[in-house]
């Protein structure tokens, strides 16, 4: 089950929101007088930029591969355990059997 490739573009919405929020946080941090508050504001802005980069990476992955970030976990939901204690996953490529961890 593949996700349509254009769905990766939906990552632009939270990414843009985070970047706009980081602009206002950075603007407020630069206008303040306190050194500690300036440093904290810059730290929060950098964290928001990192979160935006994660959204960009996830959206790019969906756009390129057509598979979402949790595609593997969705496939594992249909797995069963056979009588030998091996995990049988019919949706896995090639019908691979993975041993069950006890």
Token digits for 90?
């019919």
Buried b (16+ CB within 10 A) or exposed e, 71-94: eeeebeeeeeeeeeeebbbeebee
- Are 54 and 81 in the same domain? no
Cα separation of 69 and 71, whole Å? 6
**pTM score, two decimals?**
0.64
Range of the domain at 60: 1-69
pLDDT of res. 82:
73
What averages of pLDDT result for each successive group of 10 residues across the chain (102 residues)? 72 93 95 94 96 92 75 59 70 52 52
Task: Give the count of beta carbons closer than 10 Å to the beta carbon of residue 25.
Answer: 19
Task: Give the count of beta carbons closer than 10 Å to the beta carbon of residue 41.
Answer: 21
Cα separation of 29 and 14, whole Å? 22
- Are 15 and 40 in the same domain? yes
Task: Please count the structural domains in the chain.
Answer: 2
- Are 39 and 84 in the same domain? no
- Are 89 and 51 in the same domain? no
């Amino acid at each position: 089950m593949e996700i349509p490739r254009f769905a990766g573009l939906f990552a632009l919405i939270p990414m843009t929101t985070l970047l706009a929020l980081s602009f206002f946080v950075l603007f407020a941090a630069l206008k303040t007088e306190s050194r500690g508050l300036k440093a904290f504001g810059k730290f929060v802005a950098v964290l928001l930029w990192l979160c935006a980069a994660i959204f960009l990476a996830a959206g790019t992955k969906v756009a390129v591969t057509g598979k979402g970030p949790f595609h593997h976990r969705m496939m594992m939901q249909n797995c069963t355990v056979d009588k030998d204690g091996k995990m049988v996953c019919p949706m896995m490529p090639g019908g691979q059997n993975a041993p069950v961890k006890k």
